[in-house]
Amino acid sequence: MNIEMPNFLLALPEIFVLGMTCVLLVIDLFLKQQDRYLTYLLALFTLLVAAVLTLYGDSGERQITFNGSYVADSMSHVLKLGVYFAVFVVFVYAKDYLRDRNMFKGEFYILGLFGMLGMMIMISAHSLLTLYLGLELLSLSLYAMVALQRDSIHASEAAMKYFVLGAIASGMLLYGMSMIYGVTGTLQLDSIAERAVSGDRTLLAFGLVFLLVGMAFKLGAVPFHMWVPDVYHGAPTAVTLYIGSAPKIAAFAMLVRLLVDGMIDLHDQWQGILIILAVLSMAVGNIVAIAQTNLKRMLAYSTISHVGFLILGILTGTQSGFSASMFYALAYVLMALGGFGMIILLSRKGFEGDKLDDFKGLNRRSSWYAFMMLILMFSMAGVPPFLGFWAKLAVLQEVVAADMLWLAIVGVVFSVIGVFYYLRIVKLMYFDEPNSEEALQCSTDMRLLISANALMVLGIGLFPGALMAVCTAAFS
């Protein structure tokens, strides 16, 4: 019996993160509450080392190991770095928020790291099985994190909804995977791509539909978006920040792995479904967001509309379309981190700054942070020269290049509608009287990081070439 030894070095970041998280789990057990920041620092340290390992492990070529269930390519490296960055920012933003609410426990960081491990596995998945397991690892950590605030009825309700709908979505996904396995007889994505050419089209299409339904649930694309606003609203803001940022990168990776690596041959079949998902998401997301009075809910609907844009890039089925979509995913995550971060900045002990009214007259209270929020909102709305504009432009260009001019027009129309609710926040901050004149209170690291975050949105918006080049290189 011959066993081919897997190349463990390729998966070094995953192995390191898993090992460190287990170490952290044990260390945290023996820490007193006042020493808890050690867990936090070690979690940040883990992220930094994982980033270094990923950077140095990048050989520039596509390598597959673990008997075809793990792939390391340039896309996986870039996306993993994006995930580390997002989780790092989430951990820093969340620190004060958690401490003020008696939630500063090791579990948040441990579950956060395990969730990140799930995302890394999804990003590097090369078989249906690892993709599914990575997704479950991520989802399970997220369910627990949403429910972490046990005494809050809203959080428990959100966790319950998320859990039930997530389980249905996983069921759909598995059903689709089993059909595809039935037709092709393999779990590995590249063999699926080979055998799909000669496979039974009807069965493959059925499997594909179930896969897409499951993925649309996880992405939060309309009409499978019902859980998004409730979960974003009900979860503690620190957890909303986590759910709203890094998993979008993983979801993008999941779409690319399944549809592009595995079933590019069925492009004409999944394109139609994705068009419906994208148009509905942009429509419902942008229009319903107008009616929201809670910023977390509003950002949830805005997420739905951004997911629509993300799908637009993928459905073109071209390499440049995928890189535009990847640029969009990374840009969106950066903006979402800032947006939810501002809610945390406005919150203090016993007070959640998550209503639109809380942003009234922010300019009078702190003109610098009002300006930061202005950058973030303009960027989400897609106003040049901010990052969000380039992301939208890149995706729309690809849609036009794929001869779907009407779809690009629909996208533009709905993003113009979307501008309304982003600009309403700017109006509230600059032209309305504040409800309270209280100065913002938060720690220096949070202030520095959120300023850096917003300035990055501006900076990359002024010079989008570098990030764009990275995304283009990932798909060539």
Contacting residues toward other proteins, per CB under 8 A: 1, 3, 6, 11, 18, 22, 25, 66-67, 69-70, 105, 107, 110-111, 114, 117, 121, 127, 129-130, 133-134, 136-137, 140-141, 143-144, 147-148, 150, 179, 182-183, 200, 202-203, 206
Long-range contacts from 75-78, C-beta under 8 angstroms, 24+ separation: 75/123, 75/253, 75/256, 75/326, 75/474, 75/475, 76/123, 76/124, 76/253, 78/326, 78/330, 78/470, 78/471, 78/474
8 A C-beta contact, residue 407 and residue 312: yes
* 136 vs 230 by CB, closer to other proteins: 136
* 179 vs 311 by CB, closer to other proteins: 179
8 A C-beta contact, residue 386 and residue 375: yes
* 130 vs 323 by CB, closer to other proteins: 130
* 175 vs 430 by CB, closer to other proteins: 175
CB of 285 to other proteins, least distance (A): 25
Beta strand pairing call for 70-72 and 63-65: antiparallel
Kindly give the interhelix angle for 267-289 and 201-219, rounded to the nearest 10 degrees: 20
* 146 vs 387 by CB, closer to other proteins: 146
Q: How many CA atoms lie within 13 A of 440 on its CB side?
A: 26
CA–CA dist 429, 351 (Å, integer)? 19
CB of 439 to other proteins, least distance (A): 35
* 203 vs 393 by CB, closer to other proteins: 203
Whose tokens are 């950066």? That residue is 334
Whose tokens are 């979801």? That residue is 251
CA–CA dist 378, 391 (Å, integer)? 13
CB of 186 to other proteins, least distance (A): 12
Number of Cβ within 10 Å of residue 426's Cβ equals 18
CB of 179 to other proteins, least distance (A): 8
CA–CA dist 203, 243 (Å, integer)? 34
DSSP secondary structure code for residue 440 in this structure:
P
Rg of the chain taking only CA atoms, in angstroms: 21
* 28 vs 358 by CB, closer to other proteins: 28
CB of 472 to other proteins, least distance (A): 30
CB of 67 to other proteins, least distance (A): 5
CB of 124 to other proteins, least distance (A): 10
Q: Which two tokens stand for residue 247?
A: 């998993």
* 180 vs 396 by CB, closer to other proteins: 180
* 16 vs 430 by CB, closer to other proteins: 16
8 A C-beta contact, residue 146 and residue 243: yes
The dihedral built from the CA positions of residue 460, 463, 469 and 472, taken in this order, carries a sign that is positive
* 140 vs 356 by CB, closer to other proteins: 140
8 A C-beta contact, residue 222 and residue 279: no
* 11 vs 394 by CB, closer to other proteins: 11
CB of 183 to other proteins, least distance (A): 7
Alpha helices (runs of H) in 256-294, residue ranges in sequence order: 267-289
CA–CA dist 147, 208 (Å, integer)? 32
CA–CA dist 429, 427 (Å, integer)? 5
Whose tokens are 């209270």? That residue is 365
CB of 65 to other proteins, least distance (A): 9
Exposed (0-12), middle (13-18) or buried (19+): which is 397, by Cβ within 10 Å?
middle
CB of 104 to other proteins, least distance (A): 13
* 161 vs 424 by CB, closer to other proteins: 161
CB of 435 to other proteins, least distance (A): 35
CB of 140 to other proteins, least distance (A): 5
